Amino acid sequence: MFEYAYLFFIPAVITGSLLFYFLLTRKLLLKGVFLLLLELVVLVLYPIIFLLYGDAPVVDCCDSMHNAFIAPGSKLSIYVLMGACVLAYFYAKYVRKPAGPLFELVIYCLLLLGILANIPLILHLNDSLLALMGIAPVMGLFALRLILNHYKISKQVEEGNFRTDSGFYRWMYDVLVAPMWKKIPLLTILCIPLLLILMAILLLFGQKPDAFITAFTETYGHGLSQLACEVNCADEHYLCTIAAKGHKQVVKPLRYGVRHGRIIQVNRQLLVANAFEDLLEQKMPKSHHFIRHHYNQFGERAKRLFLILGNPWIADIVYLIMKPLDWFFRLVLYFFESKPENSIAIQYLYPEHRQQLEKTRHS
């Protein structure tokens, strides 16, 4: 996706320019269909891209490409909050006639949450470039809409569209007409009961009371993650494993296997490479230790490049590059093993299943 990064950077630049120009001139740099297009890209398309490609369905500490960004059990809470903020944004933009002051305060709070809720996302993302391209435009548009809504509500209050006779209405009126420097702290406080009400509703749908917190803490490897990885992932992203993540028509996956207690997808090339390593360890343990040590060092470097190597097209290329070694490994196995296919078949099985099949390996 890096080659298309500029497409995500352009909305960030436009949004930043739009907000900066408005703060200086009190005028919108974009209007009509151009502003709507920007809003749809940033507030609708970006979340869809995130849901489809940025948030994996499982928590996996060994697979950075398929590791959940939001804890699976708390996804609903985060998605509902995101959706409510986006709906509030378009309500504030298109609805001119004011509703009741309490409802308008809720809209105000959701617009502010559209900014505040992205702060933990930035901290969790732990990637300044992606935060600048993907999250900053969202925060910029919500900040702009919050300011515009302030002007709209202030004008409506001046025109007498809100009741101010009772104490409760008077208090809400004071919040609605307060200057921004005073309104933002008040709205921040009001966001707390709003979130509590939302959490109470989400309890009916199986969400935990602390879902807005565990959405970030019950994950691996992100900025706010609290879970510790209990398996050794040092060799998770080596060339054969990466090759197995390519297009099925090319790498030809055979079945699922088990690695460090995790379910992985394996192909013939991966099985052959592991069988060759078993043979090397049996016949030449010292050489195996030397090769394995340097292979581990290479694997650590490959792991740092996994965002690139995990691309299916790159994985296809790696698979093809590995083909000569694959043929060499097969040749050695067929030369030194009495039943080479048995040695290949037992790779990446559950230990108890492998022990049973090991009995037939040399029988």
How many whole angstroms from its chain centre is CA 39?
Answer: 21
Q: What is the arithmetic mean of pLDDT over 233-250?
A: 62
Residues 39, 173, single domain; the answer is yes
Residue that wins the pLDDT comparison between 139 and 286: 139
**Of the candidates 169, 225, 192, 40, which has an alpha carbon nearest to the alpha carbon of residue 116?**
192
Residues 202, 257, single domain; the answer is no
Residue type at position 25: T
Question: Is residue 356 a contact partner of residue 281, using CB atoms and an 8 Å limit?
Answer: no
Instruction: Confirm whether 100 is domain-assigned.
Output: yes
Where does a domain end: 217, 247, 282? 217
pLDDT, tens digit (0-9, with 9 covering 90-100), for 132-158: 788 899 999 999 999 998 888 878 777
pLDDT above 70: residue 361:
no
pLDDT above 80: residue 278:
yes
Residues 115, 70, single domain; the answer is yes
Residues 328, 200, single domain; the answer is no
Residues 114, 147, single domain; the answer is yes
Instruction: Confirm whether 222 is domain-assigned.
Output: no
DSSP string, 163-206: --SSHHHHHHHHHHHS-HHHHHHHHHHHHHHHHHHHHHHHHTTT
pLDDT above 70: residue 22:
yes
CB burial of residue 54 (10 Å; 0-12, 13-18, 19+): middle
Instruction: Confirm whether 29 is domain-assigned.
Output: yes
Q: Which pLDDT band holds residue 112 (cuts at 50, 70, 90)?
A: very high
Residues 193, 314, single domain; the answer is no
Instruction: Give the separation between CA 123 and CA 121, rounded to whole angstroms.
Output: 5
Q: Which pLDDT band holds residue 189 (cuts at 50, 70, 90)?
A: very high
Q: What is the arithmetic mean of pLDDT over 31-52?
A: 89
Confidence (pLDDT) at 279:
84
Instruction: Give the separation between CA 257 and CA 361, rounded to whole angstroms.
Output: 19
Confidence (pLDDT) at 61:
61
Q: Which pLDDT band holds residue 289 (cuts at 50, 70, 90)?
A: confident
Q: How many domains does the chain have?
A: 2
Residues 207, 285, single domain; the answer is no
pLDDT above 90: residue 259:
no
Residues 197, 258, single domain; the answer is no
Q: What is the arithmetic mean of pLDDT over 95-114?
A: 88
Instruction: Confirm whether 233 is domain-assigned.
Output: no
Residues 328, 210, single domain; the answer is no
Query: pTM for this structure?
Result: 0.66
Instruction: Confirm whether 130 is domain-assigned.
Output: yes
pLDDT above 60: residue 234:
no
Residues 168, 287, single domain; the answer is no
Residues 107, 256, single domain; the answer is no
Give percent above pLDDT 90 in the chain: 26
Residues in a beta bridge with 256: 265
Instruction: Confirm whether 330 is domain-assigned.
Output: yes
Q: What integer best gives the mean pLDDT of the chain? A: 80
Q: Which pLDDT band holds residue 1 (cuts at 50, 70, 90)?
A: very low
Residues 59, 132, single domain; the answer is yes
pLDDT above 70: residue 82:
yes
pLDDT above 50: residue 261:
yes
DSSP one-letter code for 210: T
Q: Which pLDDT band holds residue 31 (cuts at 50, 70, 90)?
A: confident
Instruction: Give the separation between CA 133 and CA 122, rounded to whole angstroms.
Output: 11
pLDDT, tens digit (0-9, with 9 covering 90-100), for 198-221: 999 999 998 988 999 998 988 887
Instruction: Confirm whether 232 is domain-assigned.
Output: no
Domain that holds residue 143: 2-217
